[in-house]
Chain A
């Protein structure tokens, strides 16, 4: 095993779910934001976490990335329990946050280099991977430009490149296309879906945009902190007897409106 393998902890069996969340509950300011949430994200799949604004998606991501700890429940990332084996678990994760998380005063290259250092990547590997990832997202020539001058779509591509830099096995994308034009959204969606096919990457894609969901996508519907449905999008439509996922989503969530 190489040093980088050790860093990323690529030791779990393929049968182990990429992400297993069990009975996760969390309250913020007296309000229950997540209520006994249990989800399973199988490895090497594109999984959609679908929910309206305020459904609890960002809180769930904050708990899975251990920005703060859950008050109840268990989170396992490729079998590593987040609370007890946080280093092993976090090394498997790449994250694209909803809020921009790039330093605007650093260049794209410098932002990625900082991330590589935080993951303890060897310098040579870091340089190679930065060039590879910036090239892959079509920003190799912009590597030395400061982020402040990037468009929203370009900045998102840098964030995706950064999230993949340390070869994570699970990529979390929280509303990654919000605020982008149609072309940039389509490019980013195609890019991330391609990663699932080509690299066997697991992606958990949080969104409130139903048009980003494809019929075969495993879809988790989160509403007011509760998981209302899990399964292939086409199956959800069939289960509800709806004409479309949009219709199914409306029926499921309206039936649970507070």
Chain B
């Protein structure tokens, strides 16, 4: 099998994910509306009651609505990753996943291609959000809009890999509400997206510890550091943790989709497939 075959397969998967994204305009709108509501309503309300002290990567006091920008970017990527997971479950229910899985290209490569395609789709969503935030008055260091790209790719891959892993465990589309309640909301709220960890620790040391073990926290912080052009030890630590979680989640997803020992056969068995 030549590199050209692999490349065309990758392009095909990216093309299909892109096409589906374009066709689902409501998905794009809701991906933007969600963080914008947090920015315009939640952050505006909290601006007066929550002060953010000088913590890395910030070198001065900042307004709360500026503080939550990295968290809202990660939120876009989190929902995008879960949306990819949802589309995998939808594909399985509609039968079109069989077309993907019977490709002669190795299955791990198909999954990685899916993951990269989903991550790439999160980038325009993030940048449209940043543009609206900029127009709203939250203007960051111009260089930060470029230096954040590696963080967006790494965090997007990690959250997308989590989505892939979850998609292997969900039997039916209806079960996806559980993902919202038990994965997305806890990940988002128990992180540094909305409050700095020192603030969380003041309120509850236990909650602080939970936040400190939450991979989403490291994705948020990685985005925060690179958005402010801070390539220091803390940024590197965040990147390493996000990369480690990426390996774990992607490894789990590849194992789960492995035809020999994966969860898919078990999910299918329980899903009432024809004998």
Contact = CB atoms under 8 A, between A and B. Distances in A.
Interface string A1-15: 001001100000000
Nearest to B262: A68
Given A28-B269, A120-B1, A97 B103 contact: no
A102 interface: yes
Given A67-B259, A83-B260, A113-B12, A7 B1 contact: yes
Contacts of B42: none
B101 interface: yes
Contacts of A56: 275
Contact of A119 (B13, B104, B264, B269): B104
Nearest to A172: B102
Contacts of A90: 102-104
B262 to A, nearest CB: 7
Contact of B259 (A66, A100, A121, A123): A66
B265 interface: yes
Interface string B254-275: 0000011110110011100111
B94 interface: yes
A3 B105 contact: no
Given A86-B104, A101-B95, A120-B105, A69 B260 contact: yes
B175 interface: no
Interface stretch (B2-10, B70-78, B142-150): B2-10
Nearest to B100: A118
Interface in A199-218: none
Looking at chain B's contact residues, is the secondary structure mostly helix, strand, loop, or mixed? helix
A119 B103 contact: yes
A114 B11 CA distance: 9
A120 B8 contact: yes
Contacts of A87: 1, 104-106
Interface string B88-105: 000000111011111111
B106 A58 contact: no
Contacts of A151: none
B19 interface: yes
A191 interface: no
B181 interface: no
25 contacts: A7-B5, A28-B269, A57-B275, A58-B275, A59-B275, A62-B273, A67-B102, A67-B268, A68-B260, A68-B264, A68-B265, A68-B268, A83-B260, A86-B104, A87-B104, A102-B95, A102-B96, A103-B96, A114-B16, A116-B12, A117-B9, A118-B99, A120-B1, A120-B4, A120-B7
Interface of A: 3, 6-7, 28-29, 33, 53-59, 62, 65-69, 83, 86-91, 93, 95, 97-106, 110, 113-123, 162
Return the 4 tightest CB-CB contacts between A and B, nearest first: A117-B12, A120-B5, A68-B265, A101-B95
Interface of B: 1-2, 4-9, 11-13, 15-16, 19-20, 23, 94-96, 98-106, 110, 259-262, 264-265, 268-270, 273-275
